[in-house]
Amino acid sequence: MSRAFKPGIEKLIDQSTPTKPSGFNDPLISVCSACRAGPFSHEGFRQAISSGRYTGSSGYRYTTTWQKILQAVVNEACNWCHILRRTRAGVRADKALLISGETVEVRFQVSVKYTAQDSSHIKIYFNGLLVARYTMVLYANEGDGVTIDMSTASANLIWPWKNRDEIYYTKASECIQACSDHEYCPSYEEVYLPTRVIDCSDPAKPCLIETQGVIKGYYCTLSYVWGGDQLHKTTTSNIDTYIREGINVDLPQTIADAIVVTNKLGFQYLWVDALCIIQDSNEDKVKELESMTRIYCNAHLTISVLSAYSAYEGFLPGRRAPDVLPFYLADEASTPGWMLLKCGVQFPGRLSRQLGLSNSSMHAPLRKRSWSLQESILSPRQIIFQPPDVLYKCRSFQAVGIDEDTWSTNTRKLATDHIIFSEETHPTLNKDKFYEQWQNILEDYSKRKSTLSSDKLVAVASVAEILQSHVQDQYIAGLWRRNLLDDLLWEVIAPMGPDETHLPRPITYRAPTWSWASVDGELQARRWQYDLACASYKAEIQMCKATPKFISHPLGEITDAKLTIAAKIRPLMRDGRGCSFIEHVGTKIDTGGLKYWYWTAPAGNILETLSTKSSSDGGLKGGFVFDCLEGTEQDCQTNFYVMLLHAGKYYTHYWVDGLLLIQVDNMTDHYRRVAKFNFKHEYQWLDWLDTEPLKLVTLI
């Protein structure tokens, strides 16, 4: 269950973690020989700060390889090379291809501020891509004759967490305790622990425990971005050692920090996927996937690391020793001073203005990962780390900073996650609120990415499992049996891929073409607002089934699925010929002013009575929206078919919606979905709709 795939990026091998030197008389001992001759030579460093302002060409740049950087870390404990490796591990997944090669151009720029009101900082670029901004605290060697007003007090200003950890832990505990009085939050009671948990009684000596399903207690879970493979994870070869002797390895900083938080909040046990699932055992992975709903629902608290792109970044700045590097304080300086680096962050809102820093929102890579949505929804309570803020969220209330007074007042905003946990299961219950909540979840989920394409259905299966039990409906390949005609009206919001292009279907089968899980891209569950219950025509579902890959995990991966519908279906072109579509890029039509990609068929199509006649407000409303690259080809003439799902009249407007299909080779009544359409028009009706008979159509 790895996350945050970075194409072409090697796993971070943390064989050596440079530490602060015991003395600072010679700051140059903190970097390797190559860095002493290059970026941290007097000439090189002064070049990095010589401009006075940042430009595209300012700063010091040099070309090296990742292998040389790794060797400098391992053999010479170079702090600068270690920073570069750590920074590479945290590069956003969508930017990782820019640094996927072995050779890299490194450029860094230095800005020096001599007052505590402004922070000195370094910017680092890889191949022209800005990848990090570090705050500097500067110190001079004796005899340099330079005074810099950047003291410990300034460091506290830049990092408000310093010496305030206990305050946050106390307030977090108060938030957790307050949940016992919330309407939608579950009661506090001990539960059977997951198969394996980490004993955090001594954060310096964590130990893996196998519970055998008989140990009860309270436990925390960790929700975080892997950022690539991890060197230290539980495997068949080390699990016995982790249980018998403890986890005596240098864990990724995020996991190490989570162990500390678990202990500080008074909990003994922590569940982390990398350590509590045997990562090289498919059998164990499948078994634990079956328990994912229970693991997160039963957790007393989930620790959510919102702003870290990699497990190696950590989220407790006060626990990580600052990086030490040389610094030439003046043009004439013969010997370097030294500086401490802390990873810079953008401070949002009130704190930003208080510190005089730019007001921009933080990156939240965890919200870009498919697995994290399920983890957030299932978790009864979350403590969310987004430096410098610590937030608290539960099923009753939305997230709010725990250092603010609002978390304990009646002004907090209600959350909606609790809807899918409703115990109202009476057969006559109006299920609309459940389906509406699912549509909201699906639209959020579609914006996120998984490392493995096969996780598309798996990473949201636990949410579907909970919802299925309450709506008493059947979940099939991502859609709901009782709501199937409506659910088929999903569409992909174009453009889907880079350079505003459509994406191809996944090479390996993961869902039928009529399921949103068969394609990638951001979804919109339904565009039209008409009451479909009032449609004068509706297609009829005859059969719908899916074959799960694992019987024990029926809502996860599937190997096959079919949908049979009795519907009105005809070739798109009246003369039966093939055709290609015309793309309208970013054209504004009836979507509230939003740019909306849509496609139109050539003249002579069977929807022409709707799509070519004019009306008082401009004619056509709607269009074809392709699911992916399939069907959009311009170099061939494709035989398309129109299948109607609904048709009706809304005041003076006639409207239809349905699917655009391609016939499967050598299978007369079998089709593949390639697009969704809906049209409305004043005073027009399809000339063939009333006379066309229903036909059985099977979609695969």
Is there a single domain that holds both residue 102 and residue 52? Answer: yes
Inside any domain, residue 452: no
Is there a single domain that holds both residue 274 and residue 337? Answer: no
Is there a single domain that holds both residue 94 and residue 216? Answer: no
The enclosing H or E element of 454 equals none
Q: What confidence score (pLDDT) does residue 7 get?
A: 23
Would the pLDDT of 570 be above 70? yes
Is there a single domain that holds both residue 257 and residue 403? Answer: yes
DSSP output for 597-630: EEEEPPTTBTTHHHHSS--TT-S-EEEEEESSST
Would the pLDDT of 594 be above 80? no
pLDDT > 70 in the chain, percent? 76
| Average confidence (pLDDT) over 167-171 | 80
As a whole number of angstroms, the distance between CA 162 and CA 151 comes to 14
Q: By mean pLDDT, which of 87-101, 205-219, 337-351, 454-468 is the weakest?
A: 337-351
As a whole number of angstroms, the distance between CA 203 and CA 231 comes to 20
User: Regarding predicted confidence, which is higher, 486 or 156?
Assistant: 486
Would the pLDDT of 160 be above 80? no
SS (H, E, C) 246-257: CCCCCCCHHHHH
Inside any domain, residue 472: no
Buried b (16+ CB within 10 A) or exposed e, 453-484: ebbbbbbbbbbbbbbbebbebebbbbbbeebb
User: Regarding predicted confidence, which is higher, 617 or 173?
Assistant: 173
Side-chain-side CA neighbours of residue 382 (13 Å): 31
As a whole number of angstroms, the distance between CA 392 and CA 169 comes to 11
- Beta-carbon contacts of 171 under 8 Å, excluding residues fewer than 6 positions away, are 402, 403, 407
Residues 430-443 pLDDT 10s: 677 888 889 999 99
User: Regarding predicted confidence, which is higher, 343 or 542?
Assistant: 542
Is there a single domain that holds both residue 311 and residue 323? Answer: no
What angle (nearest 5°) sits at the alpha carbon of residue 618, between those of residues 613 and 621?
A: 75
As a whole number of angstroms, the distance between CA 147 and CA 149 comes to 7
Q: What confidence score (pLDDT) does residue 622 get?
A: 62
Q: What residues does 656 pair with on adjacent strands? A: 647, 679
Which residue in 415, 412, 417, 462 sits closest to 437, CA to CA? 417
As a whole number of angstroms, the distance between CA 19 and CA 188 comes to 42
Is there a single domain that holds both residue 181 and residue 35? Answer: no
Is there a single domain that holds both residue 122 and residue 269? Answer: no
Is there a single domain that holds both residue 618 and residue 563? Answer: yes
Inside any domain, residue 568: yes
Which residue in 140, 136, 139, 142 sits closest to 124, CA to CA? 136
User: Regarding predicted confidence, which is higher, 615 or 157?
Assistant: 615
- Beta-carbon contacts of 283 under 8 Å, excluding residues fewer than 6 positions away, are none
Is there a single domain that holds both residue 302 and residue 188? Answer: yes
DSSP output for 308-372: -SSTTT-S-GGGSPPEEEEE--STT-SS-EEEEEEE--PPPHHHHHHHT----PPP-GGGGBHHH
Highest mean pLDDT among 164-168, 307-311, 314-318, 516-520: 516-520
Is there a single domain that holds both residue 99 and residue 200? Answer: no
Would the pLDDT of 23 be above 70? no
Would the pLDDT of 381 be above 90? yes
Q: What residues does 270 pair with on adjacent strands? A: 198, 220
613 falls in which pLDDT band (50, 70, 90)? very low
Domain housing 141: 27-159+317-345
Inside any domain, residue 400: yes
Q: What confidence score (pLDDT) does residue 399 get?
A: 87
Inside any domain, residue 453: no
Inside any domain, residue 470: no
Is there a single domain that holds both residue 531 and residue 411? Answer: no
Which residue in 205, 216, 315 sits closest to 263, CA to CA? 205
| Average confidence (pLDDT) over 327-349 | 63
As a whole number of angstroms, the distance between CA 53 and CA 466 comes to 55
Would the pLDDT of 8 be above 70? no
| Average confidence (pLDDT) over 38-67 | 81
Residues 65-96 pLDDT 10s: 999 998 998 889 899 998 898 788 667 656 77
Q: What residues does 11 pair with on adjacent strands? A: none
Q: What confidence score (pLDDT) does residue 361 get?
A: 37
User: In angstroms, what is the C-alpha Rg of the chain?
Assistant: 29
Using a 10 angstrom Cβ sphere, with 0-12 exposed, 13-18 middle and 19 or more buried, the burial of residue 699 is buried
CA 566 to chain centre: 39
Chosen domain end from 421, 445, 464: 421
Q: What confidence score (pLDDT) does residue 683 get?
A: 60
Is there a single domain that holds both residue 140 and residue 85? Answer: yes
Would the pLDDT of 1 be above 50? no
Q: What confidence score (pLDDT) does residue 363 get?
A: 63
- Please give the structure tokens belonging to residue 155: 């460091």
Q: What confidence score (pLDDT) does residue 328 get?
A: 81
- Beta-carbon contacts of 501 under 8 Å, excluding residues fewer than 6 positions away, are 495, 629
Q: What confidence score (pLDDT) does residue 638 get?
A: 94
Inside any domain, residue 621: yes
Q: What confidence score (pLDDT) does residue 82 get?
A: 85
Q: What confidence score (pLDDT) does residue 5 get?
A: 22
Highest mean pLDDT among 11-15, 163-167, 193-197, 385-389: 193-197
Would the pLDDT of 676 be above 90? yes
As a whole number of angstroms, the distance between CA 328 and CA 314 comes to 30
Q: Residue 287 — φ and ψ, nearest 5°?
A: -60, -45
Residues 455-500 pLDDT 10s: 999 999 999 999 888 888 999 999 999 989 999 999 998 767 666 7
Helix axes 370-378, 461-471, angle to 10 degrees: 40
Mean pLDDT, the chain, integer: 80
| Average confidence (pLDDT) over 45-65 | 76
CA 81 to chain centre: 29
As a whole number of angstroms, the distance between CA 84 and CA 70 comes to 9
Inside any domain, residue 667: yes
- Please give the structure tokens belonging to residue 386: 């987004």
As a whole number of angstroms, the distance between CA 660 and CA 155 comes to 61
Q: Greatest CA span in the chain, whole angstroms?
A: 97
As a whole number of angstroms, the distance between CA 649 and CA 247 comes to 67
DSSP output for 24-56: -S-GGGGS-HHHHHTTTSHHHHHHHHSSSS--S
As a whole number of angstroms, the distance between CA 552 and CA 550 comes to 5
CA 441 to chain centre: 13
Chosen domain end from 399, 421, 443: 421
Would the pLDDT of 348 be above 50? no
426 falls in which pLDDT band (50, 70, 90)? very low
Residues 525-552 pLDDT 10s: 875 556 666 788 999 999 999 999 999 8
- How many domains, in total, are found in the chain? 3
Would the pLDDT of 218 be above 60? yes
427 falls in which pLDDT band (50, 70, 90)? very low
98 falls in which pLDDT band (50, 70, 90)? confident
As a whole number of angstroms, the distance between CA 194 and CA 112 comes to 51
Which residue in 583, 581, 586, 605 sits closest to 596, CA to CA? 586
As a whole number of angstroms, the distance between CA 296 and CA 551 comes to 22
Q: What confidence score (pLDDT) does residue 375 get?
A: 95
- Beta-carbon contacts of 672 under 8 Å, excluding residues fewer than 6 positions away, are 513, 630, 661, 662, 663, 664, 699, 700
